[in-house]
Amino acid sequence: MPLSRESLMYLSMARCSEPQRLYRRLEGRRNSDVVHECRDYHTAGKNSCFFNKNNTLIWVSYNITVVATNALGKTYSDPLDIDVVYIVQPHPPEKLEVTVMKDQGWPFLRVSWEPPRKADTRSGWITLIYELRVKLEDEESEWENHAAGQQKMFNIFSLRSGGTYLIQVRCKPDHGFWSEWSSTSYVKVPEYLHREKSVWILVLVFSAFILLLLTWLIHMNSHSLKHCMLPPVPGPKIKGFDKQLLKSGKSDEVFSALVVSDFPPTTSNYEDLLVEYLEVYMPEQQELMVDKGKDHDGCLKSIGLASDSDSGRGSCDSDNLLMDKSGAPKEEQQQQNQEGDQIGKETQGPKEAWEKEAMPCANEDVVSPDASSEKVKTWPSVFSPVTPYSPLDPHNSLEMHKQHCLSNTQFPPGSPSSDHYIKEALQSSYWEVCFNNNQPYPQTEVHPQLQAHSDRNISAVNDRNAPTGLLLPTRMTEYVEVQRVNEENKVLLHPIPSGHSREKACPWVGQRDDYSKVKGVDSDNGLLLQREVVEEESMEMAGAAESCYTSSIAFTTPKPTACSPVALPVQDERVLAVSGYVDTATVFSVHT
């Protein structure tokens, strides 16, 4: 039975169960048994009675009863004792205002209201406590209540961007009943970018950028990464095999190429190679030549080492290689030098003969190792007697003592035309190089093997240019020196600069004879060199090719073995125009 202290007191009654029309009467009684009958049954609605302020006093107990009367009699309801002051329900707050305000870019709602007009809060006679509730306009949203105490203003934060809110407020006296909810106020929150969202967007953009950067970096370094993570597996390479041939797809050529080249590769007896070494012709100016040769070698240092690990093109300057290998080859070299000296001395006599007949050989320090194969020949070569050796064959029946300096140049292996040249070389004249028989090593065993490999050796000659073996006229005497023995037991020779030919003064005739091939080994353990005509254009060595070395193709036949007398019977009349040298790279291997 809510009452309003201020203005009115109204009572509402429950309907009686009797269907008959009732005569209702409300009586209000105070302490003094004064009964006040209700006169207003309409103001407060149906089944109600309204007692105005004149009849209601505070801090006084009233007793109220309802009397139902009909024709049969009267009925009194149970009395209700009340004190007006305890049952006050105020009117709802008024002038509800909601505004959107910004706090550092973030919006919030400021709700303000007024107490009901009829509540005298100014005097303190009634103290009101407020409560408000907020809701989004969605159907699923629930009301959110907030206690505001005695204040008439309230802030609401954490709003949804762009949402519409409903707000209501109510009040109650400190010891009374809650009023009804005020009328709803609608407010729309403007759109704003939530800070968390903006942070996430920033993080996303940043990570995307980082990802792009990483992708670009990986792409740029893909090659090196690939190299690092998937190191290239050295594939098998068939020496003397022409890859281009394979790509061309003609099986016949492929097979023939296989046959022609020195496949299967022969194993080399490096030990023999180390022990046996060529006896080379050692002229008087041996040391000089040696030095010159070494200098010559030095000039070839500029020839770049092939960097390809699989490439057979090692340093064109085997001397350099020797030096690169921390001195050990050096010692070997020197040791061999000494040996060579010894040998040289021994062969002084015949050397003179040689000198007459030997051809000058341009010292070419083309030290390209076995270029036919692509493997780097880092064999600490048997730097045997160093000095130029002239094909010596005191026992040889060869009339011509012509020394060809065959340059052991680099040439790309597997040149397509190599097989042609090989065949040609087979028929060409050849030199027979025979080693000095002063060598302590047994020659007999060398010989058959040398012979056995003759063909192969010849075939191993894989020049790009047509090596036309030709013997030089006796006019020119060239000296070669064994530079080193590569790992295929090939003695690499390089020309020792003769008196007239130096590093820089290597005349470069267009076509030269190249005697860098050993055609075979004759019965006397003589190396049969093959003369080739070298075209000029070969400068395949890594660019640094001076004119001081021929561009003749380097080729190696397997296994230089030492056979005692080194005889280079010059059988060809052609003069080696430029410096060439006998390349003992085409030494035969000891065993087959």
Partner 1 sequence: MQLETILPVCSPAHKQSFVLCVVAMCRAVPINDLIYRASQQSDKLHALSTMLTQELGSEAFPIDRVLACHTSSLQTPTDKEQALQVSESDLLSLARSLLQAWSDPLEVLSSSTNVLPYSAQSTLSKTIQKMQEHSKDLKDGLDILSSKMGPAAQTITSLPFIQTNEIGQDKITKLLSCFRRDSHKIDSFLKVLRCRAANMQPQVC
Complex with partner 1: residue 93 or 240, whichever CB lies closer: 93
Contacting residue, 46, 71, 73, 81, with partner 1 by CB under 8 A: 81
Spatial separation of the C-alpha atoms in residues 34 and 60, rounded to whole Å: 13
Applying CB under 8 A, the span of 82-90, 192-200, 275-283, 328-336 interacting with partner 1 comes to 82-90
Positions in 303-332 near partner 1 (CB under 8 A): none
Positions in 163-192 near partner 1 (CB under 8 A): 174-175
Q: How far is the CB of 72 from partner 1 (least distance, A)?
A: 28
Complex with partner 1: residue 115 or 391, whichever CB lies closer: 115
Spatial separation of the C-alpha atoms in residues 293 and 337, rounded to whole Å: 12
Contacting residue, 17, 21, 59, 158, with partner 1 by CB under 8 A: 59
Ramachandran quadrant class, 333 (left: phi over 0; alpha: psi -120 to 50; beta: rest)? alpha
CB 131 within 8 A of CB 117: no
- Residue 86 interacting with partner 1 (CB under 8 A): yes
Contacting residue, 61, 145, 256, 397, with partner 1 by CB under 8 A: 61
Complex with partner 1: residue 66 or 88, whichever CB lies closer: 88
- Residue 31 interacting with partner 1 (CB under 8 A): yes
Strands (E), 180-307: 185-188
- Residue 127 interacting with partner 1 (CB under 8 A): yes
Q: How far is the CB of 1 from partner 1 (least distance, A)?
A: 13
Applying CB under 8 A, the span of 78-86, 157-165, 218-226, 480-488 interacting with partner 1 comes to 78-86
- Residue 122 interacting with partner 1 (CB under 8 A): yes
Complex with partner 1: residue 124 or 236, whichever CB lies closer: 124
- Residue 110 interacting with partner 1 (CB under 8 A): no
Contacting residue, 58, 203, 208, 212, with partner 1 by CB under 8 A: 58
Spatial separation of the C-alpha atoms in residues 457 and 463, rounded to whole Å: 12
Q: Could you give the 3-state DSSP secondary structure of residue 270?
A: helix
Q: How far is the CB of 84 from partner 1 (least distance, A)?
A: 10
Q: How far is the CB of 211 from partner 1 (least distance, A)?
A: 57
Complex with partner 1: residue 70 or 151, whichever CB lies closer: 151
Contacts of 111 (CB under 8 A, 6+ apart): 96, 97, 98, 132, 153, 154, 155, 156, 167, 169, 185
Contacts of 196 (CB under 8 A, 6+ apart): none
- Which has the closest alpha carbon to 430: 450, 410, 409? 450
Applying CB under 8 A, the span of 53-61, 337-345, 395-403, 438-446 interacting with partner 1 comes to 53-61
Pairing of strands 477-485, 106-114: unpaired
- Residue 33 interacting with partner 1 (CB under 8 A): yes
Spatial separation of the C-alpha atoms in residues 583 and 564, rounded to whole Å: 16
> CB 291: neighbour CB atoms within 10 A?
15
CB 41 within 8 A of CB 87: no
Spatial separation of the C-alpha atoms in residues 239 and 489, rounded to whole Å: 14
Q: How far is the CB of 60 from partner 1 (least distance, A)?
A: 7
- Residue 147 interacting with partner 1 (CB under 8 A): no
- Residue 104 interacting with partner 1 (CB under 8 A): no
Spatial separation of the C-alpha atoms in residues 505 and 362, rounded to whole Å: 10
CB 61 within 8 A of CB 52: no
Q: Could you give the 3-state DSSP secondary structure of residue 52?
A: strand
DSSP tag of 159: P
Q: How far is the CB of 61 from partner 1 (least distance, A)?
A: 5
Complex with partner 1: residue 31 or 158, whichever CB lies closer: 31
Q: How far is the CB of 77 from partner 1 (least distance, A)?
A: 16
Applying CB under 8 A, the span of 58-66, 182-190, 380-388, 474-482 interacting with partner 1 comes to 58-66
- Which has the closest alpha carbon to 169: 150, 159, 183? 183
- Residue 125 interacting with partner 1 (CB under 8 A): yes
Tokens read off for 158: 């954490």
Contacting residue, 37, 97, 120, 138, with partner 1 by CB under 8 A: 120
- Residue 75 interacting with partner 1 (CB under 8 A): no
Q: Could you give the 3-state DSSP secondary structure of residue 18?
A: coil
Phi, psi of 532, rounded to the nearest 5 degrees: -135, 150
Pairing of strands 477-485, 360-361: parallel
- Residue 138 interacting with partner 1 (CB under 8 A): no
Q: How many residues belong to the site for partner 1 (CB under 8 A)?
A: 26
**Helices in 234-347 by DSSP H: which ranges?**
243-248, 251-260, 270-275, 286-299, 318-324, 328-346
Cα–chain-centroid distance for residue 61?
96
Positions in 1-30 near partner 1 (CB under 8 A): 6, 29
Spatial separation of the C-alpha atoms in residues 240 and 373, rounded to whole Å: 6
State the first-to-last Cα distance of the chain, in angstroms, to the nearest integer: 128
Complex with partner 1: residue 124 or 231, whichever CB lies closer: 124
CA-to-CA separations, 438 to 59, 363, 399, 401, in angstroms, rounded: 149, 25, 22, 19
- Residue 302 interacting with partner 1 (CB under 8 A): no
Strands (E), 174-216: 185-188
CB 393 within 8 A of CB 401: yes
Residue 214 burial (CB < 10 Å; 0-12/13-18/19+)?
A: exposed
Complex with partner 1: residue 123 or 326, whichever CB lies closer: 123
Applying CB under 8 A, the span of 52-60, 403-411, 529-537, 538-546 interacting with partner 1 comes to 52-60
Contacts of 41 (CB under 8 A, 6+ apart): 24, 48, 49, 50
- Residue 140 interacting with partner 1 (CB under 8 A): no
Q: How far is the CB of 28 from partner 1 (least distance, A)?
A: 12
- Residue 267 interacting with partner 1 (CB under 8 A): no
Complex with partner 1: residue 150 or 256, whichever CB lies closer: 150
Tokens read off for 511: 């076509």
Q: How far is the CB of 191 from partner 1 (least distance, A)?
A: 35
Applying CB under 8 A, the span of 121-129, 249-257, 496-504, 565-573 interacting with partner 1 comes to 121-129
- Residue 60 interacting with partner 1 (CB under 8 A): yes
Q: How far is the CB of 127 from partner 1 (least distance, A)?
A: 6
- Residue 123 interacting with partner 1 (CB under 8 A): yes
Complex with partner 1: residue 115 or 497, whichever CB lies closer: 115
Q: Footprint of partner 1 on this chain (CB under 8 A)? A: 6, 29, 31, 33, 57-61, 63, 81, 83, 85-86, 120-125, 127, 150-152, 174-175
